[in-house]
Amino acid sequence: MEALKRAVIRVAATPDGRLQELPFLQRSLLLPLLSFASSLFRLSLALRRRLYRFGLLPRHRLPVPVISVGNLTWGGNGKTPMVEFIARICVEAGIPPLILTRGYASGDEAKMLERHLSGTSARIGVGANRTAVAASIFERHGYMKFENTLYSKKLSNPHEFGSASENGKVGVAILDDGMQVSDGQLKVIKSKMHTVDACHAVFFTRLTPSHFFEVKNQHSTLPLSVVLNRVVLCVSAIGFPNAFVQAVGKIGPLLVDRLDFGDHHSIQLNDIEMIKERLGKLKDRFNTEVVAVVTEKDYDRDALILREIHNFDVLVLCSSFQIMPSYGQGEDTFRRKLKELIISKFGG
């Protein structure tokens, strides 16, 4: 089953122009099957949109502004870091955010957000029925009822109002995974957006490796240089592992090997044995220090069992989220436009 999951991930992550490079069985069997499934999914989404449009499916409006964050392509493209980035902007402005997430599988994304946003005014609601989760949190903690003018002042002058407000009442909801790309595709998406509305602002982001910490001590901080001249085994269970492997490779280790599991896969004892066996073979082959590197999501999902990898260092790669300056637009512009959108939508 894991082999099938890895094959599906590989096909999904392969650009259209390189599909001929896939193994014959994946091209001849798996690719047509996935294409058919994709067509069915596209039809189901079109039907769902029509049902909403004609009022046959109920719509739920929250009493606070809602920001939806999602991927246009395969997962693993920085959705959760973007959610955290937006939440911090709201926290800094004194508008306590509520992050609503489905909590897939073992809830690794929610755990990572809880760890990163611990000590802030952000609240995290987990559940498939996000409307019900939000209603429950509003009932317990309440929500802010600002007039637009006061809301605007609060966003513009956060220090005047402080980071906490109205006893922690929720001021904005952030929808984690509200939707699901090569440079060429990005240009096409940007072009299409501008045909709909030429005034749309388009921002580009990136995740940049910042440091490591040890699986056995999440409070440790190790520089990226700790993997220089070492053999690294990248172990991950995320939607798009290629980006993770490439990021580690750019740091400059002696060699990068990889072991990919399916998205949100929960590491089991037999997986630990497989990882240790791979690490042992790499050590024997290169006769040098070998280290396993995992993502933060993998750590938050399987922190305890990853400690069972004895005799080898196991590090967690941390990355910082950045808005890339493009066409005169950078992080300051993004913050300003986000605040303007929240103000314009509040109460509307």
Average pLDDT of the segment spanning 1-26: 72
Least confident window among 4-13, 122-131, 153-162, 265-274 = 153-162
Confirm whether 190 is domain-assigned.
no
As a 3-state breakdown, the chain gives helix, strand, coil percent values, each rounded to 5, of: 50, 20, 30
Confirm whether 192 is domain-assigned.
no
Give SS3 for 231.
strand
Structural domain of residue 160, as residue ranges? 66-181+326-345
pLDDT digits (tens, 9 = 90+) for 216-260: 999 999 999 999 999 999 999 887 788 899 999 999 999 999 998
Confirm whether 38 is domain-assigned.
yes
Distance CA 219, CA 213 (A): 7
Confirm whether 276 is domain-assigned.
yes
Token pair in block for residue 233: 């085994």
pLDDT digits (tens, 9 = 90+) for 35-51: 888 889 889 988 988 99
Distance CA 153, CA 249 (A): 46
pLDDT category, 106, cuts 50, 70, 90?
Answer: low
pLDDT category, 321, cuts 50, 70, 90?
Answer: confident
State how many domains the chain has.
3
Q: In this model, does residue 124 exceed pLDDT 90?
A: yes
pLDDT category, 110, cuts 50, 70, 90?
Answer: confident
pLDDT category, 1, cuts 50, 70, 90?
Answer: low
Confirm whether 189 is domain-assigned.
no
pLDDT digits (tens, 9 = 90+) for 193-221: 777 777 777 888 888 899 999 999 999 99
First-to-last alpha carbon distance for the chain, in angstroms, is 48
CATH of the domain at 232: 3.40.50
Distance CA 188, CA 312 (A): 45
71, 163: one domain:
yes
Confirm whether 198 is domain-assigned.
no
Q: At what angle do helices 79-92 and 331-345 cross, to 10 degrees?
A: 70
Distance CA 174, CA 209 (A): 25
Quote the pLDDT of residue 2.
62
Find, among 302, 306, 304, 300, the residue nearest to 272 by Cα.
306
340, 247: one domain:
no
Q: What's the predicted TM-score (pTM) here?
A: 0.73
Distance CA 156, CA 159 (A): 9
